[in-house]
Amino acid sequence: MSPADIHQQLVRQFGDQITGANVTALDPWVEVAPAAIVEVATYLRDDPALQFDALNDLCGVDYFEPDAKKAAKFAHQPHLEVVYHLYSYSLKHHLKVKVKSPRWKNDQAGELPEIPSVSKVWLIAEWHEREAYDLMGITFTNHPNLRRILCPEDWEGHALRKDYAFPLEYHGIRGQ
Amino acid sequence: MSITLEDPRVIEFDVRTDEMLVNMGPQHPSTHGVLRLLLRTDGEVIYEVTPHIGYLHRCAEKIGENLSTPQWIPYTDRMDYLAGMNMNLGLALAVEKLVGMEVPEKAMTLRVIIAELNRIASHLVGMGAYGLDLGSFSPFLYAFREREIILDLFEEACGARLTYSYITIGGLTHDVPNSITIPSGLAALTRRSPNLKLSWLEALEMFLSWLEPRILEYHTLLTENAIFIKRTAAIGVLSREKAISYGCTGPVLRGSGVDHDLRRDGEKIYTRMYAGYDFEIPVAPFKKAPPEAILGDNWCRFYVRMMEVVQSIKLIRQGIQKYAKAEGTYRVPYKMTTKLPVAEAYLETECPRGQMGFYIVGNGEDKPLRARAKSSCFCNLSVTSELCQGCLIADIPAIVGSLDIVMGEIDR
């Protein structure tokens, strides 16, 4: 099935929950509204024509330019993206799914945005979402165990945010 | 005659067992690095295993956002430090996919030779260390003797023994040398003069013909060893569905019976390197398996690695033949300051431990907006708690060892 066909099928099934697509990109992608991601993910996994049984990767991307001088030239609106790379072992095809979200919930700096968790759909998502929470600062709702995974529990901030401030001190260890 | 409670022959057991929390690691030798496993046990039986990772975390992805992509290559060496060449290759191909770069045939042939040679070295460590986990010391020594020669050969080719940065965007940093002095380990093993001069590829050929018959010895030492079979067969069974849902890749996936290898099933930019090569993909179940072994257990995962070494030798032999006829140079130049397009590319390659993915988001500058490294061991490790439920404490090193993890890649 070609990426354009997959996109068409998803639009037929979910209507305006499919908020965008680029089927001619290097890795063709489909954009899904955050509220519908679990439903769409379950459909992508279970539909006999799609059968995306594997989640190869899940990660967050922070589209933001902290430098005010460069921000004018920045090609994107500031936002966060969660990117799901899917693969089907039986049908051997790929799809990239994107979910866009504001950088902060209600535009309040420090309040993490919320996206529903897909850890019930693909078991590996549990760890990948913990990593995205830890490093990118995204709260995955309905996650069974949303704790930091790579950084210590008492670490402050989320390192892959573009405006992350490096700590000056951690338990008596001096920073930069 | 019925037995009553008052009967003196009835012994009442009033031994209450409490659950116990046992800490394994982060400095335990059988955890292959700094992995901490928190075990909840009832006596010897495991109820739950919680892996705690992150002791080697350097936030390599943040570093990658602050460097141009060629500058990030040395950091990929330090991810899976037992297979640095394969890590370099993964990043190089992802960037080549993003910028749409063509690599000459000669570079592709050399890349196959180098990547497969590193796969052998990595599987040798995996095999030797696994034997060590299960109390068999000698295979470890043999494995390191062989690996030493591979490292000597890598040193002759690129100057480094562990963190190579040899495969780079556009090809490789150097061609393999035409004339070297035979590595001392190889000279001693093959009883040649230590001053013998030969080309790098001749030395490689000599090493392969020496290594090939040794694989039978490893099978005698480990694979067919009764104690080894008792410790591995039917332990840590991972079903096909669970393996896929947990994102397991590489030997762990193929040990569970999924016939999938990116060298054959991957994206074209990767599989074209292997086009025209004749090789097989070992997938469990095996005909040679002992009767105790079942699909997806420790033994199968181990055996997949052993069989892959044979296939890698076959691939390198064909690569050497192709190299003589290959056209082009070993590298097309790629400037450090090349601006990446406003686009994104994700590519997975088949590394010794599974599918390593690199995701590069370009933003019109030389530095990427996002540099993501998806680790195969990270996904493979996530099945530990599933596999260890209900097994004994002594089985934990056998199960974790069979996943063959490298903490540098998990923590990044």
Residues B24, B31 contacting (CB under 8 angstroms) = yes
Q: Over 70: is that where the pLDDT of B41 sits?
A: yes
Share of chain B above pLDDT 70, in %: 95
Q: Over 70: is that where the pLDDT of B3 sits?
A: no
Measured from the Cβ of residue B279, the count of other Cβ atoms closer than 10 Å reads 18
Q: Over 90: is that where the pLDDT of B118 sits?
A: yes
User: pLDDT class for B11, splitting at 50, 70, 90?
Assistant: low
Please tell me which residue of chain A has the smallest CA distance to B260: A89
The CATH number covering residue B85 comes to 1.10.645.10
What's the rounded Cα separation, in Å, for the pair A151 and B22?
22
Please tell me which residue of chain B has the smallest CA distance to A55: B247
pLDDT of residue B285: 87
Q: Give the domain extent around B119.
A: 60-411
Q: DSSP assignment of B54-105, as one string?
A: -TT---HHHHHHTS-HHHHHHHHHTTSTTSHHHHHHHHHHHHHHHHT----H
Q: Is B264 on the interface with A (CB under 8 A)?
A: no
Residue B357 to residue A85, Cβ atoms within 8 A? yes
What's the rounded Cα separation, in Å, for the pair B281 and B262?
10
Task: Provide φ and ψ at A96, rounded to 5°.
Answer: -110, 130
Distance in Å, alpha carbon of A10 to nearest chain B alpha carbon: 22
Q: Over 70: is that where the pLDDT of B42 sits?
A: yes
**Which residue has tokens 């540098």?**
B408
Residues B318, B208 contacting (CB under 8 angstroms) = no
What is chain B's mean pLDDT, rounded? 88
Residue B363 to residue A75, Cβ atoms within 8 A? yes
What's the rounded Cα separation, in Å, for the pair B61 and A58?
14
> Does B207 reside within a domain?
yes
Please tell me which residue of chain B has the smallest CA distance to A84: B346
pLDDT of residue A74: 80
Q: What share of chain A is helix, strand, coil (3-state, %, to 5)?
A: 25, 25, 45
Q: Which of residues 27-46 of A touch B (CB under 8 A)?
A: 27
pLDDT digits (tens, 9 = 90+) for B213-265: 988 888 888 888 888 898 888 888 999 999 999 989 999 999 998 999 999 88
Q: Over 60: is that where the pLDDT of A4 sits?
A: yes
Please tell me which residue of chain B has the smallest CA distance to A83: B359
Residue A57 to residue B54, Cβ atoms within 8 A? no
The shortest CB-CB distance from A75 to any of B97, B342, B359 is to B342
Q: Is A129 on the interface with B (CB under 8 A)?
A: no
Residues B82, B122 contacting (CB under 8 angstroms) = yes
What's the rounded Cα separation, in Å, for the pair B323 and B340?
31
> Does B21 reside within a domain?
no
Q: Which chain A residues are Cβ-neighbours of B348 within 8 angstroms?
A: 56
pLDDT of residue B167: 92
> Does B34 reside within a domain?
no
Please tell me which residue of chain B has the smallest CA distance to A166: B62
The shortest CB-CB distance from B359 to any of A59, A89, A152 is to A59
pLDDT digits (tens, 9 = 90+) for A140-166: 999 998 999 999 888 888 989 888 888
pLDDT of residue A32: 92
Q: Which chain A residues are Cβ-neighbours of B62 within 8 angstroms?
A: 159-160, 164
What's the rounded Cα separation, in Å, for the pair B67 and B64?
5
**A3-157 adopts what CATH topology?**
Beta Polymerase; domain 2 (3.30.460)
B304 is written with which tokens? 């997949």
Measured from the Cβ of residue B20, the count of other Cβ atoms closer than 10 Å reads 11
Question: Domain total for chain B?
Answer: 1
Residues B171, B333 contacting (CB under 8 angstroms) = no
User: pLDDT class for B330, splitting at 50, 70, 90?
Assistant: confident
- List Cα–Cα distances, B152 to A93, A98, B251, in angstroms: 41, 45, 26
pLDDT of residue B30: 65
Q: Which long-range contacts (CB under 8 A, 24 or more apart) does A64-73 make?
A: A64/A103, A64/A161, A64/A162, A64/A163, A65/A162, A66/A162, A66/A163
What's the rounded Cα separation, in Å, for the pair B60 and B355?
18
Measured from the Cβ of residue B13, the count of other Cβ atoms closer than 10 Å reads 5
If we measure between CA atoms, which residue out of B385, B375, B219, B387 comes closest to residue B296? B387
Q: Over 80: is that where the pLDDT of A11 sits?
A: yes
Measured from the Cβ of residue B360, the count of other Cβ atoms closer than 10 Å reads 24
**Paired sense of beta strands A54-63 and A79-87, if any:** antiparallel
Q: Which chain A residues are Cβ-neighbours of B361 within 8 angstroms?
A: 61
pLDDT digits (tens, 9 = 90+) for B141-179: 999 999 999 999 999 998 888 889 999 998 899 888 988
pLDDT of residue B16: 63
pLDDT digits (tens, 9 = 90+) for A27-57: 899 999 999 999 999 999 998 888 999 999 9
What's the rounded Cα separation, in Å, for the pair B328 and B171?
11
> Does B32 reside within a domain?
no
Q: DSSP assignment of A10-58, as one string?
A: HHHHHGGGEEEEETTSSS-EEEE-GGGHHHHHHHHHH-TTT---EEEEE
Distance in Å, alpha carbon of B209 to nearest chain A alpha carbon: 36
Distance in Å, alpha carbon of A151 to nearest chain B alpha carbon: 6
